[in-house]
Amino acid sequence: MSVILKEKIEGPSAWKGKDIKDDGSWIYHWSDESIGVLEKALENVKQKGLKVPDFTKEDFPITALTEEINYFNEELENGKGFLVIRGLPIERYTDDEAAIIYYGLGLHMGTPVSQNMKGDMLGDVKNIGAIDPKQVRVYETNEYLPYHADLSDVVGLLCLRKAKSGGMSSLSSAMTLYNEILEKHPEYLGLLHRHFLLEHLNDGDVGQTPIFSYHKGKLSGMYLRQYIEIAQENAGLPLSDVEVEALDLVDSILSDPDIRIDMLMEPGDIQFANNYAIFHSRSGFEDYDEPERRRHLYRLWLKMPNARELAPDFPGRNGISKR
């Protein structure tokens, strides 16, 4: 078990939604020049006859955006832990072209990692109508998606089309969560630094995770309640009453309107979040009847060049191994 901090986390990562929701500090707008650079790189990939994920960052040359990319990466690791990039004219592109631009940007920010046992490097986030929570990942439904983190340094989303209604994206700071528990319910901190079993949708690959881990000067969070509950039940070790209380507390703080920040992603919006600093959620939504109009986002999981060092007992950052 790692060191338990007795002082609050300070700095830009310990934000509250009520303080930043209207200040625009977390939004970056593409310039016309930057869009031109991305589109030129897109044409280079197309001329070579390449598609996602079968090209490299050398095939998608955007060296003119080095300053922006450095800013994105710094903000994700040492700033608020998330940002939204706006202004990509998504209506100009086919879905395949948008995928090339998004994946190409990701290649310059970090290294994409596999998101599932099929080895997908670019995920499709859309409702496929599945309803079994123990067999289907919730992002493939239109149901409420509880607060969680993903198994990579950074998760990114590009909005192609939004839902008919709903589908609100919500983010909460893991640092603010820690501060709130430290101030109001410190009796749970020891438990939240201990290991819970973790199993990804009954795949038999059982690991362990603490909710909080302090290592080499940085606090990191990891929260996947659904997979914790699956693993503990499968092992014949269902969560105790006090463990349920602790996780219920985590959920209640993360969903507090003063703590979280809500945003409805518009077509062309790109959202990136550091999985160790931010827990994310999505409200349920109603989709259009026409398949071509339904909510659809692309997702990236990135391993970052400037990522923090994690404790040896903290879950990995390498995605989900292809099988």
Is the backbone peptide bond immediately before 210 cis, with ω within 30 degrees of 0?
no
In this structure, of 57-61, 164-168, 297-301, the range with the lowest mean pLDDT score is 164-168
Give the total residue count for the chain. Answer: 323
CATH code given to domain 17-303: 3.60.130.10
* pLDDT > 90 fraction of the chain, expressed in percent and rounded: 79
Residue 211: both structure tokens together: 């909710």
In this structure, of 140-144, 197-201, 296-300, the range with the lowest mean pLDDT score is 140-144
Residue 27 Cα distances to 30, 89, 197, angstroms: 10, 16, 36
What is the C-alpha to C-alpha distance for residues 82 and 262, in angstroms, rounded to an integer? 13
- Over residues 185-196, the mean pLDDT reads 97
User: Can you give the pTM of this predicted structure?
Assistant: 0.93
Domains of the chain, by residue range, sit at 17-303
Condensed to tens digits (0 to 9), the pLDDT of residues 83-116 reads 999 999 999 999 999 999 999 999 999 999 999 8
Residue 101 CA to chain centroid, in angstroms? 19
Residue 292 CA to chain centroid, in angstroms? 25
| CB burial string 183-207: b at 16+ within 10 A, e below | eeeeebbebbbeebbbbbbeeeeeb
Q: What is the pLDDT of residue 136?
A: 47
- pLDDT value at 255 more than 50: yes
- Tokens 């507090």 correspond to what residue? 256
Residue 135 Cα distances to 117, 162, 230, angstroms: 13, 25, 11
CA torsion 98-104-107-110 (nearest 10°) is -50
- Tokens 């596999």 correspond to what residue? 114
